[in-house]
Structure 1
Amino acid sequence: MSVRLIVRTFSELCITIGALIVLFVVYVLFWTGVKAAGATEGQIDDLQRQWARGTVSAPAPSASPTAPPNAPSSPGPKPPAPKAYRDGKPFAMLYVPRFGKGWEWPVLENTEVKTLQKGLGHYRGTARPGATGNFAVAGHRRTYGDPFKDFPKLRPGDPVLLTDGTTWFTYRIDKKPYRTVPSDIGVIDPVPRKSGFDGPGRYLTLTTCEPEWGSSHRLIAWAHLDATQPVTEGRPAAFHS
């Protein structure tokens, strides 16, 4: 084999590898975002149809966020248990004004790979919106629409708003994002460990990957329920705070 043939073969191999790398980068940076946009719009449309038909989950208890979770209940028949969320299906919308005016993402049940390609994922088994316990949500930092790209910008007092079609829940971030490892599952406990919360309450936990283009660690943000109001009263003032 001549030197010229070896050089030409090696050059063609380098060009092929380079083209594959470029295609992969385009897929990661662009195509996953396109797919996510279409999938997310579909989930939002699905939610809006559910809400228009009135087929949403039962609202959370209307007790004040500051009321003791074990306070005696008023006499009367026990309300029916709310329906379980359907795996991989949307049941709420999440808004974080800190991430921009148009930032809105559907929340789906479970945190499987295919679910997180369509929106945010609710950790199965954690609390429902507004309920006592910890409503925990995961989302991609990068790819599939980059929902939590700006996660490090969260600051204490920032509102995180959630609606299930009947009620608005306004949570407030308690501290700057906390960095940990994927095996630290205590961060989504009913009273999340290392959060600073010292007892039962109505909490929210957001999780995403760290670093921005990796997954060796996790960023965590904790919030507490600050206010609730029926959707019939319009959007909460926290959208503008």
Structure 2
Amino acid sequence: MTALRPEREGLLHGGERYDAPADEETMALRIPEPPQGGDPISASAGTAAGPGSPAPLGGRAARRKAAKGRRGRVVATPAAESRPLHGDRPLSRVEARRQAKARKPGAAVVASRALGEVFITTGVLMLLFVGYQLWWTNVRAHAQAGSEANQLQKDWASGKRAAGTFSAGQGFALLHIPKLDVVVPIAEGVSNKKVLDKGMVGHYGEGALATPMPDAKTGNFGIAGHRNTHGEPFRYINRLQPGDAIVVETQDEYFVYKMASMLPVTSPSNTSVLDPIPPGSGFTAPGRYITLTTCTPEFTSKYRLIVWGKMVEERPRSKGKPDALVE
């Protein structure tokens, strides 16, 4: 093959010389001719895309082939996207319902949850009740007893309350137990509602259990009080020792007793502890005694705790407080 060929002589065209194009075999590079009969839009897009752009699609046949390929692909719909997948495909409605049903708790689980909620609610209510019994009843009873004690002393000072017979629930004296730092009103009767639950001490003054007042020449002055809750005035009477003072203050006098003996446990039906000469007290002859009764063990009412005392001094209020209240 000849590397170079002499240039062909051109032909005259309109009086001008026309040079024929050079032979293709003599050219190292050449500009491609524009496509014949192709898509002008694709051609222009290919031209505008510039270097590095993907090759434009061919003619109509190429576009039909590309469209056919797109129709073969699965297009996700909102319903399919909302359903869970099983492998690489979305679950059917039946499968989705089965899985949702399987995730629901069974009857046993629901029942155990309900039972647990009942236990929790019951526990909370019990705690609230215990708090009410151990705390709030004391707060309220202390307030009521304190108010009654103040009113009683005011009435004594003004002379409104004369000594004599008292109605149920009426306060008539103050009980002092110096060792236990107790000062509490004594009211007539042992009713829970009218007396004991108000934080006061009640006098056995009614019915078959009636006992004489402290000013009686002989007899056993019997009183009762709560050991726990509602002011709990007798909570620590089990700590009393023989010789400890127990003082009853009335409008006109102070009656001073000395603790003599204790019965730690006895039946609630043992009413003989209120007798004029109580069995087990150590007293052997009629005298002027005091009996304190309360529940035992603490926070129960199964048994009774009894404390006995013997009067050692009767002092008019006009002479001032006894030594037991001054020390």
Tell me if TM exceeds 0.5: yes
CA distance in 2, matches of 1:24, 1:110: 27
Partner of 2:317: 231
Answer yes or no: is the 8 Å Cα contact 2:261–2:282 preserved in 1: no
Instruction: From 214, 225, 243, give the equivalent of 1:129.
Output: 214
**Structure 1 length normalisation: TM-score?**
0.84
Could you say what secondary structure the match of 1:113 adopts?
coil
Instruction: From 292, 295, 320, give the equivalent of 1:209.
Output: 295
Instruction: From 122, 139, 147, give the equivalent of 2:233.
Output: 147
CA distance in 2, matches of 1:50, 1:13: 53
Could you say what secondary structure the match of 2:258 adopts?
strand
CA distance in 1, matches of 2:259, 2:131: 35
Are 1:89 and 2:167 matched, yes or no?
A: no
Aligned AA (2:159): G
Aligned AA (1:111): V
User: Number of aligned pairs?
Assistant: 215
Aligned AA (1:116): L
Instruction: From 155, 162, 165, give the equivalent of 1:50.
Output: 155
Partner of 2:304: 218
Instruction: From 116, 122, 131, give the equivalent of 2:196.
Output: 116
Partner of 2:130: 25
Could you say what secondary structure the match of 1:129 adopts?
coil
Are 1:6 and 2:111 matched, yes or no?
A: yes
Identity between Structure 1 and Structure 2 (%) = 40
Partner of 1:107: 186
Higher fraction of helix? 2
For each residue in 1:160-186, what CA deviation from the matched residue of structure 2 results, as whole angstroms up to 9, or x when unmatched? 011112111100011244421111001
Answer yes or no: is the 8 Å Cα contact 1:182–1:218 preserved in 2: yes
Greater Rg by CA: 2
CA distance in 1, matches of 2:262, 2:240: 6
For each residue in 1:124-167, what CA deviation from the matched residue of structure 2 results, as whole angstroms up to 9, or x when unmatched? 12111232201110000001011111111011001101111211
CA distance in 1, matches of 2:288, 2:244: 16
Answer yes or no: is the 8 Å Cα contact 1:92–1:162 preserved in 2: yes
Could you say what secondary structure the match of 2:111 adopts?
helix
Answer yes or no: is the 8 Å Cα contact 2:295–2:301 preserved in 1: yes
Answer yes or no: is the 8 Å Cα contact 1:152–1:177 preserved in 2: no
CA distance in 2, matches of 1:141, 1:180: 15
Can you give the 5+ residue segments of structure 1 that lack an aligned partner in the other structure? 59-82
CA distance in 2, matches of 1:104, 1:211: 23
Aligned AA (1:224): K
Deviation at 1:240, TM superposition (A): 5.0
Could you say what secondary structure the match of 2:254 adopts?
strand
Answer yes or no: is the 8 Å Cα contact 2:244–2:258 preserved in 1: yes
CA RMSD of the aligned region, Å?
A: 1.5
Answer yes or no: is the 8 Å Cα contact 1:129–1:135 preserved in 2: yes
For each residue in 1:103-129, what CA deviation from the matched residue of structure 2 results, as whole angstroms up to 9, or x when unmatched? 200000000111101200000121112
CA distance in 2, matches of 1:170, 1:28: 33
Can you give the 5+ residue segments of structure 2 that lack an aligned partner in the other structure? 1-105
